[in-house]
Amino acid sequence: MSYTNESMATIAQQSTDLRMATFRLARRIRAQRVDEGLSDAQMAALGVVYRHGTQTLSSLAEHERVSAPSMNRTVNCLEESGYVARIVDEADRRKTNISLTDAGRDIVRATLSKRDEWLTTRLRELSKEDRAVLARAAELMGGLATT
């Protein structure tokens, strides 16, 4: 398929608009958290352990695409807050695993609930047609994210 210069400019503008709208929405959703003292990085680390289970520090750092020392600082803060625990690996006692405590699970669940509630409230303000457009957009964006 060939594009004219004008259509390429239109696609480029749509790309910018989509990126900015996605960024603003994600920022508003991330702001909905139960513990206001947690940073985005800390919430992200909690989310990884919640979704994927116990992690080593290096696997957690790799998943979040940060250095191991940076993730260590994040985990230290989470551990001090009582949200994660470091557990010596039974198979390899040199390794330490990071797992959620009950308080960590509770804070993730409560934050997810708060975020869903916030977004649900905003979606209720839209027409049925606009919600259908956003549902289709969510499908398309999910596909874009996997390519």
Question: DSSP readout, 38-99?
Answer: --HHHHHHHHHHHHH-SEEHHHHHHHHT--HHHHHHHHHHHHHTTSEEEEE-SS-TT-EEEE
Confidence of residue 60 (pLDDT cuts 50, 70, 90): very high
Look at the pTM and tell me if it is higher than 0.85: no
Residue 2 lies in a domain: no
Residue 1 lies in a domain: no
- Looking at residue 8, its pLDDT comes to 81
Confidence of residue 92 (pLDDT cuts 50, 70, 90): confident
CATH of the domain at 126: 1.10.10.10
Burial group, residue 146, by CB count within 10 angstroms (0-12, 13-18, 19+): exposed
- Looking at residue 129, its pLDDT comes to 97
- Report phi then psi at 86, rounded to 5: -95, 125
Triad 124, 130, 133: Cα angle to 5°? 125
Question: Is the per-residue pLDDT at 3 higher than 80?
Answer: no
Residue 45 lies in a domain: yes
Residue 26 lies in a domain: yes
The β-bridge partners of 86 are 98
Q: Average pLDDT for residues 114-133, to the nearest whole number?
A: 97
User: Count of domains in the chain?
Assistant: 1
Q: Average pLDDT for residues 94-118, to the nearest whole number?
A: 96
- Quote the DSSP letter at residue 85: E
Residue at 127: amino acid letter: S
Domain that holds residue 52: 7-146
Residue 55 lies in a domain: yes
Residue 29 lies in a domain: yes
Residue 85 lies in a domain: yes
What tens digit of pLDDT does each residue of 30-43 get? Answer: 999 999 999 999 99
